[in-house]
Structure 1
Amino acid sequence: MDTNHKGIEAMQKGNFEEAATIFSKAIEADPNNPVHYINFGNLLSAVNEFDRAIKFYEKAIEIDSKAATAYYGAGNVYYNLENYNEAKNMFEKAMKQGLDQGDLHFMLGMCLLNIDQGRLALPYFQRAVELNENDQDALFQYGLCLARLDLIDEAIEQFQSVIAINEEHADAYYNLGVAYAFKENIEKAQELLRKALSIQPDHLLASHALKILTNSEN
């Protein structure tokens, strides 16, 4: 096992100090290898040392301006810092350098949602789902985007896919209930909202929606 794999393995096991030692030695031994700085940046990001992490990603980019994973790592840090515009810029640069992973498309979509560009987020969530059809977060956000654009049948399909993966996803049941209410299938909507509440009794949105539908029948 090479040095990088040892450091990554240590990090995955939560042995952060050991990982830091390994990555530091790797940088000392090979200071012009951007991968070492990216790994250290990922480690610092994992322990919420975001400002330091950015410096390591910047160093990797300084060495290799085409280091796609450095841009991706920096994008995640900026997203965690709620600097969504800068995160979006970094994710776009990662994509420009050839990175085509479901997580990247998902994060770009989330950035666009957070800067009120939901319509532009739609194709990124769609691509994230294409790359990983079992990503319940991507499926859910894709469904929400479709619903906001009044593409109700398409949204229902995505929420059903979420539930097929995770039968305890209260928000998916809630949104399915709302979707069926829009389709004026009140009985089905109520059934789904009750299911959401059986999973999460304090789901205020589901409770409120169910109350509205029940009162409308009286």
Structure 2
Amino acid sequence: MRRLTIFLIFAGLAAIISCGENEDFDSLAKKGLAAYHKDDYNEAIHLFEKALHLKPSDRDMLYNTGSAFFKLDLLDSALVYFHRVNILYPADYAINKELFRLCSLTEDYECALSAVQMMIANGDNEEMFWIPLADLNFFIGNYKLAKKYYQQLIDKEPREGRYRWNLAECFARLNKPEEAIRVLKEAIAKLGANPVAYSQIAVNHITLREFDQAEIYFRKAIEFDPQNVSLWINLAHTLNEQNSREKKEEALAIYKLYYIDTPEMFKLDSLIKVLEVELGQK
């Protein structure tokens, strides 16, 4: 009987201590939220972290701590807590929504894409996320998937040029320059002449080693943007690749004209010397 009495006393003490911990946790959580709503995010973090010592896996405390770090623009610290809470509650919509925002800001594109996929799995309409699905897949090199979503976006918003440029770039990176050229020409037909489209068409013709066609489109781009040194240098490269003395002479003249404005990494001095020898000017 005495042993039973002692056991009951210890059980009662454990219950009291447990209640005390719960009260302490609730008090810390309440004070932390009050500090958060007063924009005192440092104090909020201090209180939330104390609460987490008592309940390390508490969903709301992990979420709120991450949110407070985000408010202070401490994105890496915010991500630590959101990743931690996501491991414990992987299907939580609100957590994945914050992860999508944070991972996009920190350019962790695979994390952002995973968060989007989880939100869709939770019932959101995929169409809401076509733009991030296209862009995120593009950023991580999933060009086939990116291509699918850019095409869907074009069908929905045919006058949005960015989707067409990115679709063309997907084809280019999938080693389908003919398809890239087709998309860019369709963009010009739909949206009007554009130096970006012209220069991208030229680059794809270079991939096909169709330098005469590349020359045509670089010249079209230069008509729109004659001060663009990069376009002039690319035109010169294209001219230099053709088996024509006249074109090589024009290339040499362009290299000399823009030599000072071109970074050393492009080695125009070497190109100039080689062309001068080839043309008998040295």
TM-score bracket for this pair, using the shorter chain length: 0.5 to 0.7
Say if 1:57 and 1:71, in contact at 8 Å, map to a contact too.
no
CA distance in 2 between partners of 1:150 and 1:139 (Å): 16
Q: Mapping of 1:1-218 within 5 angstroms? A: 17=71, 41=100, 44-58=103-117, 59=119, 62-67=123-128, 70-96=129-155, 98-100=156-158, 101-130=160-189, 131=191, 133-134=193-194, 136=196, 138-149=197-208, 152=211, 154-163=213-222, 164-165=224-225, 167-170=227-230, 172-181=231-240, 182=242, 184=244, 185=246, 186-204=248-266, 206-218=268-280
CA distance in 2 between partners of 1:165 and 1:193 (Å): 18
Identical-pair percentage: 16
Amino acid paired to 1:99: E
Deviation at 1:132, TM superposition (A): 6.3
Output the TM-score relative to the length of structure 2. Answer: 0.52
Deviates more, 1:196-205 or 1:77-86: 196-205
Deviation at 1:157, TM superposition (A): 4.0
Measured at CA, do residues 113 and 204 of structure 1 come closer, stay the same or move farther in structure 2, by a change above 3 Å? same
Deviation at 1:145, TM superposition (A): 1.6
Measured at CA, do residues 103 and 72 of structure 1 come closer, stay the same or move farther in structure 2, by a change above 3 Å? same
CA distance in 2 between partners of 1:63 and 1:174 (Å): 48
Say if 2:143 and 2:173, in contact at 8 Å, map to a contact too.
yes
Amino acid paired to 1:64: N
Measured at CA, do residues 55 and 113 of structure 1 come closer, stay the same or move farther in structure 2, by a change above 3 Å? same
> Which whole-Å deviations, capped at 9, do the CAs of 1:155-206 have from their partners, x for residues lacking one?
3343234444261432x22221133332622221111222343221414364
CA distance in 2 between partners of 1:215 and 1:40 (Å): 59
CA distance in 2 between partners of 1:147 and 1:73 (Å): 31
CA distance in 1 between partners of 2:195 and 2:104 (Å): 23
Give 5+ residue unaligned stretches, structure 2: 1-69, 76-92
> Which whole-Å deviations, capped at 9, do the CAs of 1:113-160 have from their partners, x for residues lacking one?
112111211122233445364453x33212212344455555334323
Measured at CA, do residues 65 and 77 of structure 1 come closer, stay the same or move farther in structure 2, by a change above 3 Å? closer
Secondary structure (helix, strand or coil) at the match of 1:179 reads: helix
Say if 2:177 and 2:204, in contact at 8 Å, map to a contact too.
yes
Which one has the largest radius of gyration?
A: 2
Say if 1:197 and 1:203, in contact at 8 Å, map to a contact too.
no
Amino acid paired to 2:203: L
Deviation at 1:18, TM superposition (A): 9.4
CA distance in 2 between partners of 1:121 and 1:18 (Å): 44
CA distance in 1 between partners of 2:133 and 2:168 (Å): 16
Give 5+ residue unaligned stretches, structure 1: 1-15, 21-31
